[in-house]
Amino acid sequence: MSLISDRINQLEESQTIKMAKLGRELAEKGHAVVNLSFGEPDFNTPEHIREAAKLAIDQGYSHYTPVAGYPELRKAIVEKLKRENNLDYTFDQIVCSTGAKQSLANILMCLINPGEEVIIPTPYWVSYSELVKLAEGVSVFIPTDEKSHFKITADQLEKAISPKTKLFLFSSPNNPTGSVYSKDELASLVKVFEKYPNIYIVSDEIYEHINYRGKHESIAEFSSIKDRVILVNGVSKAFAMTGWRLGYMAASKEISKACEKLQSQVTSGTSSITQRASLAALSENLEPTIEMRKSFLRRRNMMYERLKAIPGLEVDLPDGAFYFFPRVNAFFGKSNGETLIHNAGDLCLYLLNEAHVSTVQGDAFGSDDHIRISYAASDEELTKALDSIEIALNKLK
């Protein structure tokens, strides 16, 4: 009999965290490693948000918080959704959690029964399928590639639906591809969902503000299905607050109440200081976020020119987030000395050991032929990493 439960034994370790760990171990041996495996803005949290946190400490915000979050924070989220997204919610439809990952976990645990299916377009964020597994559901994947800019069609969606389908889970802007769904593309998916009133839609919009196409479009904007949409967002990417851990969801009162009940037995309310800082982030000046997006756009353009010039890489231009997801299967079967590349995992380890650049293998995101490269790093580090990647890949014969 195994000491560890089957539910945990069947889970995979997060590959993004694994590659970052391997990079740190190599750095501890004295190598200068450029970490392009983490999805974390390299900027500091804006000053006005940090000041709000300091003030909260001085004002004595050191006690337990309501499970779903301070009412004033939930009301600020309601106002943000109306102001920026033209979406109408009430504060009791909002649940704040310790990161958007916990929001997603809450939703899946509250909605999925054993054996029910969750449709996930691939590539997808590493934790989606593992959270479905934890909820004892079944992931049904819809493959995409560069030809569609990693976006599904209405026809693909309809073909994936079965009598067991309970949920559709996707992100826009997408991690790892950076693809962004337009209003028209979302409308075509909505027409399918209108035929199936028992399917719920989870829209992960954590990269909302890192969007190079202009206005962010949410599938929650479509009134015909809005009551079935669960919107997930947070402060980590838009406000460089990854370590603060604040995510939130907006959904029907029935779903929000269920998630609040689950959270009351798991973590209760998230950090009081984080909530006060997030109140400032969501209510005040967006200028630091806008400037950060400009930096990411400049880096994206530089990275695109460099990556597409490397023989063997097939690169799609992302419209959002801060990742490239190049196709690398042209290197499979090639070698450098005794190092033979069989798959994307081998290539990532090769780039780590040969170029001292940490990336993430594509199979973690549902695509064996790709790797993910983050450009949430300084211009100097990115240039250094690209030089090293190009040299290392050119050595493979």
**CA atoms of 236 and 100, how far apart (whole Å):** 9
- List the Cα angle 286/287/291 in 5-degree steps: 120
> What letters, b where the CB count within 10 A reaches 16 and e where it falls short, cover 73-83?
bbbbbbebbee
CB neighbourhood size of 170 (10 A):
22
**CA atoms of 251 and 181, how far apart (whole Å):** 21
Strands in the chain per DSSP E = 34-35, 94-97, 117-122, 138-143, 165-171, 200-204, 229-234, 247-250, 323-324, 335-336, 339-340, 357-358, 360-361, 371-374
275: closest CA among 132, 143, 94?
94
pLDDT at 68 (0 to 100) = 98
Question: In the chain, which residues have pLDDT < 70?
Answer: none
CA distances from 220 to 27, 90, 192, 232 (A): 44, 14, 15, 11
pLDDT at 11 (0 to 100) = 87
**Domains located in the chain, CATH noted:** 6-44+288-394 (3.90.1150.10), 48-283 (3.40.640.10)
Residue 193, both tokens = 């969902």
**CA atoms of 167 and 71, how far apart (whole Å):** 29
CB 206 within 8 A of CB 235: no
pLDDT at 71 (0 to 100) = 97
Residue 65, both tokens = 């918080």
Check whether the bond before 46 is cis (ω within 30° of 0).
no
Check whether the bond before 173 is cis (ω within 30° of 0).
yes
CB 182 within 8 A of CB 330: no
**CA atoms of 193 and 47, how far apart (whole Å):** 43
Number of H helices, E strands in the chain: 13, 14
